[in-house]
Protein backbone atom coordinates (compact mmCIF):
# COMPACT_ATOMS: atom_id res chain seq x y z
CA UNK A 1 0.00 0.00 0.00
CA UNK A 2 1.34 3.42 -0.96
CA UNK A 3 1.48 6.82 0.69
CA UNK A 4 0.81 9.49 -1.91
CA UNK A 5 2.25 12.89 -1.01
CA UNK A 6 0.82 15.53 -3.33
CA UNK A 7 1.92 19.13 -3.02
CA UNK A 8 4.78 21.45 -3.92
CA UNK A 9 8.54 21.51 -4.21
CA UNK A 10 10.74 24.58 -4.32
CA UNK A 11 14.22 25.99 -3.91
CA UNK A 12 14.82 27.38 -0.42
CA UNK A 13 17.11 30.37 0.11
CA UNK A 14 17.67 30.68 3.85
CA UNK A 15 19.14 33.73 5.59
CA UNK A 16 20.29 33.41 9.19
CA UNK A 17 20.09 36.69 11.13
CA UNK A 18 20.63 37.85 14.69
CA UNK A 19 17.00 38.95 14.82
CA UNK A 20 14.12 39.24 12.41
CA UNK A 21 13.84 42.74 10.88
CA UNK A 22 11.08 45.14 11.78
CA UNK A 23 8.93 46.63 8.98
CA UNK A 24 11.10 48.91 6.85
CA UNK A 25 14.36 47.72 8.44
CA UNK A 26 17.36 46.09 6.75
CA UNK A 27 19.54 43.59 8.63
CA UNK A 28 22.69 41.74 7.60
CA UNK A 29 22.87 37.96 7.53
CA UNK A 30 25.07 35.81 9.75
CA UNK A 31 25.04 32.97 7.21
CA UNK A 32 23.12 31.79 4.16
CA UNK A 33 22.14 28.43 2.71
CA UNK A 34 20.47 27.12 -0.42
CA UNK A 35 18.58 23.86 -0.60
CA UNK A 36 15.44 22.07 -1.70
CA UNK A 37 12.24 22.47 0.26
CA UNK A 38 8.56 23.08 -0.12
CA UNK A 39 6.07 21.50 2.23
CA UNK A 40 5.25 18.72 -0.21
CA UNK A 41 8.86 17.71 -0.79
CA UNK A 42 9.78 18.06 2.89
CA UNK A 43 6.91 15.84 3.98
CA UNK A 44 7.50 13.32 1.20
CA UNK A 45 11.15 12.85 2.16
CA UNK A 46 10.31 12.61 5.87
CA UNK A 47 7.66 9.99 5.10
CA UNK A 48 10.00 8.04 2.82
CA UNK A 49 12.59 7.89 5.58
CA UNK A 50 10.10 5.96 7.73
CA UNK A 51 10.32 3.25 5.09
CA UNK A 52 6.87 3.96 3.66
CA UNK A 53 6.27 3.39 -0.06
CA UNK A 54 5.97 7.06 -1.05
CA UNK A 55 4.58 8.34 -4.35
CA UNK A 56 5.44 12.04 -4.64
CA UNK A 57 3.63 14.37 -7.02
CA UNK A 58 4.51 18.02 -7.60
CA UNK A 59 5.23 20.51 -10.38
CA UNK A 60 8.46 22.14 -11.56
CA UNK A 61 9.31 24.72 -14.19
CA UNK A 62 11.63 24.11 -17.14
CA UNK A 63 14.56 26.06 -15.71
CA UNK A 64 17.90 25.63 -13.89
CA UNK A 65 16.16 25.55 -10.50
CA UNK A 66 14.30 22.42 -11.63
CA UNK A 67 17.62 20.74 -12.43
CA UNK A 68 18.84 21.64 -8.92
CA UNK A 69 15.68 20.16 -7.36
CA UNK A 70 15.90 16.90 -9.30
CA UNK A 71 19.55 16.41 -8.39
CA UNK A 72 18.79 16.93 -4.70
CA UNK A 73 15.81 14.55 -4.59
CA UNK A 74 17.14 11.71 -6.75
CA UNK A 75 18.51 9.75 -3.81
CA UNK A 76 15.35 10.26 -1.73
CA UNK A 77 12.31 9.73 -3.92
CA UNK A 78 11.10 8.45 -7.27
CA UNK A 79 10.81 11.50 -9.50
CA UNK A 80 8.25 9.97 -11.90
CA UNK A 81 5.52 12.09 -10.34
CA UNK A 82 7.22 15.43 -11.06
CA UNK A 83 5.60 17.26 -13.96
CA UNK A 84 7.04 20.20 -15.90
CA UNK A 85 4.89 23.30 -16.41
CA UNK A 86 5.40 26.54 -18.29
CA UNK A 87 5.99 28.39 -15.01
CA UNK A 88 9.06 29.23 -12.92
CA UNK A 89 10.09 26.59 -10.40
CA UNK A 90 8.74 27.69 -7.02
CA UNK A 91 11.09 29.43 -4.58
CA UNK A 92 11.00 30.30 -0.88
CA UNK A 93 12.94 32.88 1.10
CA UNK A 94 13.37 31.97 4.77
CA UNK A 95 14.65 34.19 7.58
CA UNK A 96 15.82 32.44 10.75
CA UNK A 97 16.85 34.30 13.92
CA UNK A 98 19.24 33.20 16.67
CA UNK A 99 16.38 31.68 18.68
CA UNK A 100 15.49 29.47 15.72
CA UNK A 101 12.24 31.28 14.91
CA UNK A 102 11.52 31.83 11.23
CA UNK A 103 9.41 33.63 8.66
CA UNK A 104 8.85 32.34 5.14
CA UNK A 105 7.60 33.81 1.88
CA UNK A 106 7.04 31.63 -1.18
CA UNK A 107 6.59 32.23 -4.90
CA UNK A 108 4.20 29.42 -5.83
CA UNK A 109 3.33 29.74 -9.52
CA UNK A 110 4.02 26.07 -10.29
CA UNK A 111 2.07 24.80 -7.29
CA UNK A 112 -0.91 26.99 -8.10
CA UNK A 113 -0.98 25.80 -11.73
CA UNK A 114 -0.58 22.10 -10.87
CA UNK A 115 -3.54 19.74 -11.26
CA UNK A 116 -2.49 16.28 -10.03
CA UNK A 117 -5.91 14.85 -10.93
CA UNK A 118 -4.73 14.89 -14.54
CA UNK A 119 -2.23 12.13 -13.74
CA UNK A 120 -3.17 8.54 -14.50
CA UNK A 121 -3.23 6.75 -11.13
CA UNK A 122 -4.77 7.83 -7.83
CA UNK A 123 -4.76 6.42 -4.29
CA UNK A 124 -7.37 3.76 -3.56
CA UNK A 125 -8.39 1.40 -0.78
CA UNK A 126 -5.55 0.75 1.64
CA UNK A 127 -3.49 3.70 0.40
CA UNK A 128 -2.91 7.02 2.18
CA UNK A 129 -2.93 10.55 0.76
CA UNK A 130 -1.08 13.44 2.42
CA UNK A 131 -1.64 16.98 1.16
CA UNK A 132 -0.83 20.54 2.24
CA UNK A 133 -2.27 23.98 1.43
CA UNK A 134 -0.02 25.03 -1.45
CA UNK A 135 -2.16 23.90 -4.36
CA UNK A 136 -5.27 25.73 -5.55
CA UNK A 137 -8.07 25.14 -2.98
CA UNK A 138 -10.51 23.60 -5.47
CA UNK A 139 -7.80 21.21 -6.71
CA UNK A 140 -6.90 20.22 -3.16
CA UNK A 141 -10.53 19.47 -2.31
CA UNK A 142 -10.99 17.46 -5.50
CA UNK A 143 -7.90 15.37 -4.72
CA UNK A 144 -8.92 14.66 -1.13
CA UNK A 145 -12.52 13.89 -2.05
CA UNK A 146 -11.47 11.52 -4.85
CA UNK A 147 -9.10 9.65 -2.53
CA UNK A 148 -11.77 9.25 0.16
CA UNK A 149 -14.30 8.08 -2.42
CA UNK A 150 -11.84 5.36 -3.46
CA UNK A 151 -11.30 4.21 0.12
CA UNK A 152 -7.93 5.84 0.84
CA UNK A 153 -7.07 7.43 4.19
CA UNK A 154 -6.68 11.20 3.80
CA UNK A 155 -4.32 13.36 5.87
CA UNK A 156 -4.40 17.14 5.41
CA UNK A 157 -1.95 19.77 6.68
CA UNK A 158 -3.71 22.98 5.50
CA UNK A 159 -0.62 25.18 5.52
CA UNK A 160 -0.41 27.83 4.24
CA UNK A 161 -4.00 28.56 5.21
CA UNK A 162 -6.35 29.85 2.55
CA UNK A 163 -9.83 31.29 2.73
CA UNK A 164 -11.62 28.17 1.45
CA UNK A 165 -13.32 25.78 3.91
CA UNK A 166 -11.27 22.77 4.96
CA UNK A 167 -12.43 19.60 3.13
CA UNK A 168 -13.61 16.57 5.07
CA UNK A 169 -10.59 14.37 5.82
CA UNK A 170 -9.61 11.47 8.03
CA UNK A 171 -6.82 13.36 9.84
CA UNK A 172 -6.05 17.08 9.98
CA UNK A 173 -2.68 18.41 11.21
CA UNK A 174 -2.45 22.08 12.28
CA UNK A 175 -0.24 24.23 14.47
CA UNK A 176 -1.69 26.48 17.18
CA UNK A 177 -2.04 29.50 14.89
CA UNK A 178 -3.86 27.46 12.26
CA UNK A 179 -5.99 25.75 14.90
CA UNK A 180 -7.14 29.11 16.25
CA UNK A 181 -7.94 30.42 12.76
CA UNK A 182 -9.92 27.31 11.78
CA UNK A 183 -11.63 26.49 15.08
CA UNK A 184 -12.11 30.02 16.41
CA UNK A 185 -10.60 29.42 19.84
CA UNK A 186 -7.19 29.76 21.47
CA UNK A 187 -7.29 26.56 23.55
CA UNK A 188 -5.58 23.77 21.55
CA UNK A 189 -7.59 21.01 23.20
CA UNK A 190 -10.91 22.68 22.41
CA UNK A 191 -9.67 23.45 18.90
CA UNK A 192 -8.92 19.76 18.37
CA UNK A 193 -12.42 18.86 19.56
CA UNK A 194 -14.03 21.36 17.20
CA UNK A 195 -11.93 20.28 14.23
CA UNK A 196 -12.76 16.61 14.80
CA UNK A 197 -16.43 17.53 15.08
CA UNK A 198 -16.57 19.82 12.05
CA UNK A 199 -14.99 17.80 9.24
CA UNK A 200 -11.92 15.83 10.38
CA UNK A 201 -12.39 12.41 11.92
CA UNK A 202 -9.14 12.86 13.87
CA UNK A 203 -7.31 16.11 14.64
CA UNK A 204 -3.71 16.81 15.61
CA UNK A 205 -2.53 20.19 16.94
CA UNK A 206 1.23 20.67 17.11
CA UNK A 207 2.50 22.76 20.02
CA UNK A 208 6.14 23.42 19.11
CA UNK A 209 8.30 22.77 22.16
CA UNK A 210 5.14 21.61 23.94
CA UNK A 211 4.75 18.53 21.73
CA UNK A 212 1.31 17.84 20.29
CA UNK A 213 -2.33 17.27 21.20
CA UNK A 214 -4.57 14.93 19.26
CA UNK A 215 -8.04 13.51 19.25
CA UNK A 216 -8.61 10.15 17.56
CA UNK A 217 -11.93 9.24 15.98
CA UNK A 218 -12.13 5.98 17.91
CA UNK A 219 -12.12 7.58 21.38
CA UNK A 220 -12.86 11.28 20.82
CA UNK A 221 -10.63 11.94 23.85
CA UNK A 222 -7.95 14.63 23.72
CA UNK A 223 -4.49 13.26 24.49
CA UNK A 224 -1.13 15.00 24.69
CA UNK A 225 2.37 13.89 23.70
CA UNK A 226 5.25 15.75 25.35
CA UNK A 227 8.30 16.75 23.33
CA UNK A 228 11.86 16.02 24.44
CA UNK A 229 13.70 19.05 25.82
CA UNK A 230 16.19 20.25 23.19
CA UNK A 231 17.98 23.45 22.22
CA UNK A 232 16.38 24.67 19.00
CA UNK A 233 18.53 26.47 16.43
CA UNK A 234 16.16 26.41 13.44
CA UNK A 235 12.45 25.57 13.57
CA UNK A 236 11.86 25.92 9.80
CA UNK A 237 10.62 22.63 8.41
CA UNK A 238 10.00 20.98 11.79
CA UNK A 239 6.26 20.91 11.17
CA UNK A 240 6.87 19.18 7.85
CA UNK A 241 9.08 16.56 9.51
CA UNK A 242 6.28 15.93 11.99
CA UNK A 243 3.59 15.62 9.32
CA UNK A 244 5.67 13.41 7.04
CA UNK A 245 6.91 11.08 9.75
CA UNK A 246 3.49 10.83 11.35
CA UNK A 247 1.88 10.02 8.00
CA UNK A 248 4.58 7.47 7.20
CA UNK A 249 3.89 5.77 10.52
CA UNK A 250 0.14 5.71 9.77
CA UNK A 251 0.91 4.12 6.40
CA UNK A 252 2.86 1.43 8.28
CA UNK A 253 -0.27 0.68 10.31
CA UNK A 254 0.72 2.35 13.58
CA UNK A 255 -2.17 3.81 15.59
CA UNK A 256 -2.50 7.59 15.65
CA UNK A 257 -1.17 7.81 19.22
CA UNK A 258 2.10 6.09 18.30
CA UNK A 259 2.40 7.97 15.00
CA UNK A 260 2.06 11.31 16.79
CA UNK A 261 4.65 10.28 19.37
CA UNK A 262 7.20 9.34 16.72
CA UNK A 263 6.46 12.53 14.78
CA UNK A 264 7.01 14.71 17.85
CA UNK A 265 10.38 13.14 18.58
CA UNK A 266 11.48 13.36 14.94
CA UNK A 267 10.59 17.07 14.88
CA UNK A 268 12.58 17.56 18.09
CA UNK A 269 15.65 16.23 16.28
CA UNK A 270 15.00 18.50 13.28
CA UNK A 271 14.96 21.75 15.29
CA UNK A 272 18.50 21.07 16.53
CA UNK A 273 19.79 21.33 12.93
CA UNK A 274 19.85 24.05 10.33
CA UNK A 275 17.78 23.90 7.19
CA UNK A 276 14.43 22.47 6.17
CA UNK A 277 14.93 19.25 4.21
CA UNK A 278 18.54 19.14 5.42
CA UNK A 279 17.36 18.96 9.05
CA UNK A 280 15.16 15.90 8.59
CA UNK A 281 16.29 12.89 10.67
CA UNK A 282 17.89 10.05 8.75
CA UNK A 283 16.27 6.70 7.99
CA UNK A 284 18.23 5.07 10.79
CA UNK A 285 17.25 7.76 13.29
CA UNK A 286 13.58 7.42 12.41
CA UNK A 287 13.77 3.62 12.50
CA UNK A 288 15.13 3.89 16.05
CA UNK A 289 12.23 6.16 17.01
CA UNK A 290 9.63 3.82 15.52
CA UNK A 291 11.11 0.76 17.17
CA UNK A 292 12.23 2.43 20.39
CA UNK A 293 10.80 4.05 23.49
CA UNK A 294 8.98 6.80 21.58
CA UNK A 295 6.06 4.40 21.09
CA UNK A 296 5.46 4.46 24.84
CA UNK A 297 4.63 8.18 24.81
CA UNK A 298 1.11 7.68 23.45
Q: Does the pLDDT value for residue 205 go beyond 80?
A: yes
- Residue 227 lies inside a defined structural domain of this protein: yes
The mean pLDDT of 1-9, rounded to a whole number, is 96
Which residues have C-beta within 8 Å of that of residue 294, sequence separation ≥ 6? 258, 261, 262, 264, 265
Query: For residue 7, is it within any domain?
Result: yes
Kindly report the number of other CB atoms within 10 A of residue 23's CB atom: 4
Assign 293 a pLDDT band (cuts: 50, 70, 90).
very low
Instruction: Say what the pLDDT of residue 219 is.
Output: 80
pLDDT at 25 exceeding the cut of 60: yes
**Alpha-carbon span 150 to 205, nearest angstrom:** 27
106 φ/ψ angles, rounded to the nearest 5 degrees? -130, 135
What is the domain range of residue 234?
3-20+31-117+126-296
Mean pLDDT estimate for the chain: 93
Beta strands in 65-143 (DSSP E): 82-85, 91-96, 102-107, 128-132
pLDDT at 126 > cutoff 80? yes
Q: Give residue 1's pLDDT.
A: 87
Is residue 26 one of the residues assigned to a domain?
Answer: no
298: pLDDT strictly greater than 80: no
Which range, of 9-23, 32-46, 68-82, 106-120, averages the lowest pLDDT?
A: 106-120
Point out the least confidently predicted range of 2-16, 136-150, 208-222: 208-222
* Most confident region among 43-52, 165-174, 271-280 by mean pLDDT: 43-52
Stretch 38-44: mean pLDDT, rounded?
96
The total number of structural domains that make up the chain: 1
pLDDT score recorded for residue 46: 98
pLDDT band at 163 (very low <50, low <70, confident <90, very high): confident
- φ, ψ of residue 23 to 5 degrees: the values are -55, 130
- Look up the CATH number of the domain holding residue 11: 3.40.1190.20
Residue 25 lies in a domain: no
Q: Which of 23-37, 174-188, 190-204, 249-263 is predicted with the least confidence, judged by mean pLDDT?
A: 190-204
Confidence of residue 277 (pLDDT cuts 50, 70, 90): confident
Confidence grade of residue 297 (pLDDT, cut at 50, 70, 90):
very low
Task: Using the Cα atoms of residue 121, residue 75, residue 11 and residue 154 in order, give the sign of their dihedral.
Answer: positive
Q: Predicted confidence band at 55 (pLDDT cuts at 50, 70, 90)?
A: very high
The whole-number average pLDDT for the span 234-256 is 95
Determine the pLDDT at residue 292: 62
- Whether 82 has a pLDDT exceeding 60, the answer reads yes
In the chain, the percentage of residues whose pLDDT exceeds 90 is: 84
Residue 138: predicted pLDDT: 94
How many Å is the Cα radius of gyration of the chain?
18
294 pLDDT above the threshold of 90:
no
Mean pLDDT (whole number) for 248-266: 97
100-125: average pLDDT: 90
Q: Which of 18-22, 98-102, 155-159, 225-229 shows the lowest mean pLDDT across its residues? A: 98-102
Task: Tell me if 69 sits within 8 A of 75, measured CB to CB.
Answer: no
Residue 140 lies in a domain: yes
Amino acid sequence: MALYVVGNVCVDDTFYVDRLPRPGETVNTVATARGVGGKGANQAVAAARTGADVVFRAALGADPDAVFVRAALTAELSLNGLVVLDTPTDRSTILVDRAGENVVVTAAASARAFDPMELSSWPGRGDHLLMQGNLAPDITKACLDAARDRGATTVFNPSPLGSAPVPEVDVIIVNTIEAEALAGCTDPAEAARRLSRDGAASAVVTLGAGGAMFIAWQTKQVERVAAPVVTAIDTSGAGDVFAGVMSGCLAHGLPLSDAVAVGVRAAAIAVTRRGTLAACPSRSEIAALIGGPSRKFS
